[in-house]
Chain A
């Protein structure tokens, strides 16, 4: 198993893949698979599965993106890969003379326009925006991969999410308590399991509460354990700050 893939290590991986490291390339593709399939789907305007032809086209395009990516062009890799996937898919539809889904028409024009803009003006602002967005995407992809090791997938998390504000506060507090105990965290990361009993004993939380929100708690702990995922951490902490702010205001 590879270590947790940070953005930096992903860049490293990309560099290795470009230089002919097939294992790195394989890992990269594995890592970006959700992104590839999701991009293909959003370009085509319908849900794409891995058994669809569009998926393999997108995969090939992504592979080609690894080969031809040049960092010096000032684009993020994801942005580049997305562009290639899009072009290939559009070409594919043209060749097939299939009935092109209306969304493609629209997005194609939009995209041409926006890429022209990007290329010609190289607007710093939009670049930063896309960079920020891709940071978020990278973070999500990494979280997704990490959660897989804990047997958690995103769609399960709704059931484990706290429904109530108070409960959410409790779970957040649990996560913060947990992350401060280095021993627990180490065991947690090593065994890929939440040491519920030890944790409950140590902090006096009810086991039932922990079990009820286990997977959500795991996710939050992982997020807190990766402060480099700035976007996501910002996101889960935002309402806390807002609440705190509201509280002070009320007082």
Chain B
């Protein structure tokens, strides 16, 4: 950058646009003539080159340009990381991840298994709201018969907020899913949880969805040796069937029973969905226990599970399958889940 320069000299000639100075060093310098002043020949004249104004102006312009460049390049480069404010991991059987920005516009849809690819290919995400895309995912799943009328399906969704969000969108998502299923008269166990982005990263390492990753961990802890490939391609329900200890398999075999019963009472399914929504007005001691357990979370999920798992076995209640789901999830999720679990148990007991 140029320094500000002062020219001291005597006026040799004045023309329309400039003044010719003979500077003190004996050099000549043409300087712009101030519009309101005609200095006399021979007058001493000092001229401060408007370096201060001119060059800085250039400087500011260049700084502004650089800032613009940086911003634009940031908005081009970084968005792949930070653009998505939410990651929504959806597992029906198709495992999908929906990336949405903070305005809930879907920016990316990522299939995590073959079934997921089929769904993802069928969906156009451009300029669509997260909820709309989610509805479409469900619709496609139903069309492609991953969710069927006669079968108790399984919709597991984990919301991973990438940035700190003021409002949680879990409830809204739950509503959307519930409404969408209802409109297609499809029965499914719905669970919506909140996950951590660290878990998401871990899951990505195994190329699993968050939901399945958690299931995978759970199964591992239980002592069975799950195969990542199998988990990736099978629906959560099937995975469970495959790997759950024998005792529970009995349960799951009874699942069909449960299904039949459900067909008899479709309202129950509905009521179940509704009950999934948080019901803080009904605090039960059990819940508190669970929350305590929750706080310990992964530390001791086994204890948690075993305690609860026993019950459905004993009760042989209709929705054993349901239960398992809920229990499996329990290890890792937020309070909403508890309510689910709770509720499920309540149902069972009934």
Interface size class of A (residues with CB under 8 A): 35 or more
Residues of chain B contacted by A157 (CB below 8 angstroms): 20, 28
Residue of B nearest to A136 (CB): B42
Which of B11-19, B165-173, B318-326 interfaces with chain A? B11-19
B14, B27, B35, B40: most-surrounded residue (chain A CB, <10 A): B27
Whether A235 and B12, one on each chain, are in contact in the complex, defined by CB atoms closer than 8 angstroms, is no
Is the CB of B39 closer than 8 A to any CB of chain A?
yes
Interface digits, B17-45 against A, CB 8 Å rule (1 contact, 0 not)?
A: 01010101111111001011111111100
A38/B20 contact (C-beta < 8 A), A47-B33, A155-B13, A158-B29 known: no
- Give the CA-CA distance A219 to B12 in the complex, in Å: 13
Which of A12-20, A137-145, A198-206 interfaces with chain B? A137-145
Is the CB of A116 closer than 8 A to any CB of chain B?
no
Whether A47 and B38, one on each chain, are in contact in the complex, defined by CB atoms closer than 8 angstroms, is yes
Whether A236 and B26, one on each chain, are in contact in the complex, defined by CB atoms closer than 8 angstroms, is yes
Residue of A nearest to B35 (CB): A46
Whether B41 and A235, one on each chain, are in contact in the complex, defined by CB atoms closer than 8 angstroms, is no
- Give the CA-CA distance A152 to B224 in the complex, in Å: 100
- Give the CA-CA distance A161 to B40 in the complex, in Å: 23
Interface digits, B41-74 against A, CB 8 Å rule (1 contact, 0 not)?
A: 1110000000000000000000000000000000
Whether B41 and A35, one on each chain, are in contact in the complex, defined by CB atoms closer than 8 angstroms, is yes
Whether A172 and B26, one on each chain, are in contact in the complex, defined by CB atoms closer than 8 angstroms, is yes
Is the CB of A232 closer than 8 A to any CB of chain B?
yes
Is the CB of A9 closer than 8 A to any CB of chain B?
no
Is the CB of B10 closer than 8 A to any CB of chain A?
yes
Distance in angstroms from A215 CB to nearest chain B CB is 9
A155/B30 contact (C-beta < 8 A), A41-B14, A45-B36 known: yes
Is the CB of A27 closer than 8 A to any CB of chain B?
no
Q: Which residues 208-255 in B have Cβ within 8 Å of A in the complex?
A: none
Distance in angstroms from A81 CB to nearest chain B CB is 13
Residues of chain A contacted by B43 (CB below 8 angstroms): 133
User: Of B12, B16, B24, B25, which is within 8 A of A47 by CB?
Assistant: B16
Is the CB of A168 closer than 8 A to any CB of chain B?
yes
A158/B20 contact (C-beta < 8 A), A42-B38, A136-B42, A141-B41 known: yes
Whether B26 and A220, one on each chain, are in contact in the complex, defined by CB atoms closer than 8 angstroms, is yes
Residue of B nearest to A44 (CB): B38
Interface size class of B (residues with CB under 8 A): 20 to 34
Whether A39 and B27, one on each chain, are in contact in the complex, defined by CB atoms closer than 8 angstroms, is no
Distance in angstroms from A10 CB to nearest chain B CB is 15
Whether A133 and B42, one on each chain, are in contact in the complex, defined by CB atoms closer than 8 angstroms, is yes
Distance in angstroms from B124 CB to nearest chain A CB is 65
Whether B38 and A46, one on each chain, are in contact in the complex, defined by CB atoms closer than 8 angstroms, is yes
Residues of chain B contacted by A237 (CB below 8 angstroms): 26
Q: Which residues 95-127 in A have Cβ within 8 Å of B in the complex?
A: 103
Whether B25 and A239, one on each chain, are in contact in the complex, defined by CB atoms closer than 8 angstroms, is yes
Residues of chain A contacted by B37 (CB below 8 angstroms): 42, 45
User: Of A42, A172, A239, which is within 8 A of B39 by CB?
Assistant: A42
Is the CB of A178 closer than 8 A to any CB of chain B?
no
Whether B15 and A155, one on each chain, are in contact in the complex, defined by CB atoms closer than 8 angstroms, is yes
- Give the CA-CA distance A44 to B36 in the complex, in Å: 10
- Give the CA-CA distance A141 to B11 in the complex, in Å: 11
Residue of A nearest to B27 (CB): A161
Is the CB of A225 closer than 8 A to any CB of chain B?
no
A235/B22 contact (C-beta < 8 A), A41-B38, A137-B42, A158-B28 known: yes
Is the CB of A153 closer than 8 A to any CB of chain B?
yes
Interface digits, A207-242 against B, CB 8 Å rule (1 contact, 0 not)?
A: 000000000100110000000000010011111100
Residues of chain A contacted by B14 (CB below 8 angstroms): 38, 41-42, 47
Residue of A nearest to B31 (CB): A158
Whether A168 and B27, one on each chain, are in contact in the complex, defined by CB atoms closer than 8 angstroms, is yes
Whether B27 and A137, one on each chain, are in contact in the complex, defined by CB atoms closer than 8 angstroms, is no
Is the CB of A162 closer than 8 A to any CB of chain B?
yes
Whether B16 and A49, one on each chain, are in contact in the complex, defined by CB atoms closer than 8 angstroms, is yes
Residues of chain B contacted by A92 (CB below 8 angstroms): none
User: Of A38, A153, A163, A172, which is within 8 A of B41 by CB?
Assistant: A38
Distance in angstroms from A30 CB to nearest chain B CB is 16
Residue of A nearest to B33 (CB): A47
Q: Which residues 20-49 in A have Cβ within 8 Å of B in the complex?
A: 34-35, 38-39, 41-42, 44-49
Residues of chain A contacted by B42 (CB below 8 angstroms): 133-134, 136-137, 140
Residues of chain A contacted by B18 (CB below 8 angstroms): 155
- Give the CA-CA distance A140 to B12 in the complex, in Å: 6
- Give the CA-CA distance A137 to B11 in the complex, in Å: 9
Distance in angstroms from A72 CB to nearest chain B CB is 25
The 6 A-B pairs of least Cβ separation, nearest first, read A236-B26, A41-B38, A157-B28, A137-B42, A161-B27, A154-B13
5 A-B pairs whose Cβ atoms sit less than 8 Å apart in the complex: A136-B10, A172-B26, A219-B28, A235-B22, A236-B22
Interface residues of A (CB under 8 A from B): 34-35, 38-39, 41-42, 44-49, 103, 133-134, 136-137, 140-141, 143-144, 153-155, 157-158, 160-163, 165, 168, 172, 216, 219-220, 232, 235-240
Other CB < 8 Å A-B pairs besides A47-B38, A158-B28, A158-B30, 18 of them?
A34-B13, A35-B41, A38-B14, A41-B38, A42-B39, A44-B38, A46-B38, A133-B43, A134-B42, A137-B40, A137-B41, A154-B13, A165-B25, A219-B28, A235-B24, A236-B26, A238-B26, A239-B26
